[in-house]
Amino acid sequence: MKAEGFVADGFDGVREVFQRLVDDGRETGAGLSVWRDGQEVVRLNAGWADAERRRPWRDDTLVQPYSLSKAFAALTALVAVRDGGPDLDEPIAKYWSGYGIRGKERTTLRQVLSHQAGQPRFPAEAAGLDLLDDAGLRESLATAAPEYEPGTSLGEHAMTYGHLLDGILRTGAGTSLGEVFDDVVRPELGLDAWFGVPEHALPRVADLEYAQPDWPQQLPAARWLQTPAGILDVDRMNSRAWRQTVFGAVNLHATATTVAQFFSHLTSADGPVRRLLGPELHTEFLSPQVTGHDEVFDTELTWTLGLLRDRGKIAKGGAGGSAAWWSLRHNHACAYLTHRLDDHSRAAEIAAALGDDLTITPVR
């Protein structure tokens, strides 16, 4: 299948790499977008959006990029801070009284946003809960002890990020993560992205599929994603109920163009992200907050308030191979969103064609 779309002069190498991924069978459905100087210079789509191979991947195809969702959840929480909700450095327990027990009395929103809150996964007691039991999952986090003293270590809060932020917003701002994203973030930034896909957009959602049947078992981070069960089950992920719920850690559904455009505005001094947050919170969003050994990724990383950063880029990816980044060296943004759950080698090859390297090195 031939990749459809356009590339501007100087980006032919990106098309060649993308087409090769399709021709080699390593990609069965994906969207690719690159932005530079405020313009989309690459928009390519290839493959299929459904398991039956009846719906071609289109410009407006929505797909779940797993943990890439966290960048948008973090931004949403910062909008609530902007509007006088929770403070970054006050204890969460000031708002969420049930949370301040068993060593979490001084945990802050800043620690949650930068993956230092000591709750990288749901506790074992949550094993019997359903993925859609928002209240039950929030309560399990509130009553659990952290895996380490908050602020003393770090590890991506792979499953829990959205529920922690949602709990903080519900108690500290009188609203929810989904409501702030839907009422403020999405319309103000013009995003074709959804936490809870509305009925009219469901026909545009791509079905997730495994590159190999044992992909869930081979995923390096699988042990952090096991409770509650189902987050790596494509049948569950492709269900209407899942697509229409809000699970802020992983289930944003978005197009490649909208994600790349968002990343293209990240650092702009007069761009929409800075206008949305204001200068102080915009600086906080993008500034390094902690550098250390991330227990989930098992490597040295630097986290901002929701994003990974090194000297060459600001980035976020997700299980299955989707990734997006802003190149600090080359001043372009790229998003590669795929429904074929595999490793990140495809996005890495696209990055190499752009002169980028997706390896994250800590900021020292």
Question: DSSP labels for 273-331?
Answer: HHHHH-HHHHHHHHS--EEEEETTTTEEEEE-SSSEE-SSEEEEE-TBS-EEEEETTT-
User: Domain boundaries in the chain?
Assistant: 4-66+181-213+233-353, 72-176
pTM greater than 0.85: yes
d(CA 80, CA 276): 11
% of the chain beyond a pLDDT of 90:
98
Residue-level length of the chain:
364
Return the HEC string of 144-170.
CCCCCCCCCCECCCCCCHHHHHHHHHH
pLDDT at 261 over 90: yes
* Locus of tokens 């907050």: 289
pLDDT of residue 65: 98
How far CA 64 is from CA of 77, 205, 220, 266, 353, in Å, comes to 20, 8, 19, 21, 24
Q: Which superfamily does 4-66+181-213+233-353 belong to?
A: DD-peptidase/beta-lactamase superfamily (3.40.710.10)
pLDDT of residue 76: 98
d(CA 336, CA 319): 13
pLDDT at 177 over 90: yes
pLDDT of residue 189: 98
Cβ count near 307 (within 10 Å): 26
Six-digit token pair at 205? 């959602």
pLDDT of residue 113: 98
Cβ count near 106 (within 10 Å): 14
Cβ count near 201 (within 10 Å): 15
DSSP state of 63: B
Q: Which residues of 231-243 are buried (b: 16+ CB within 10 A; e: fewer)?
A: bbebebbbeeebb
Q: What is the mean pLDDT of the chain?
A: 97
Six-digit token pair at 65? 């990029």
Backbone angles phi, psi at 114, to 5 degrees: -100, 15
pLDDT at 1 over 90: no
Q: Is 141:122 a contact under the CB 8 Å cutoff? A: yes
pLDDT tens readout for residues 292-328: 999 999 999 999 999 999 999 999 999 999 999 999 9
pLDDT of residue 11: 97
% of the chain beyond a pLDDT of 70:
100
pLDDT tens readout for residues 205-253: 999 999 999 999 999 889 999 999 999 999 999 999 999 999 999 999 9
d(CA 325, CA 302): 15
Region 168-196: what's the mean pLDDT?
98
d(CA 78, CA 74): 6
pLDDT tens readout for residues 41-84: 999 999 999 989 999 999 999 999 999 999 999 999 999 999 99
pLDDT at 142 over 90: yes
pLDDT of residue 205: 98
d(CA 314, CA 300): 15
pLDDT band at 364 (very low <50, low <70, confident <90, very high): confident
pLDDT of residue 221: 87
Six-digit token pair at 282? 């915009």
pLDDT of residue 180: 98
Name the residue type at position 358. L
Nearest to 253 by CA among 312, 299, 302, 186: 186
Q: Is 5:231 a contact under the CB 8 Å cutoff? A: no
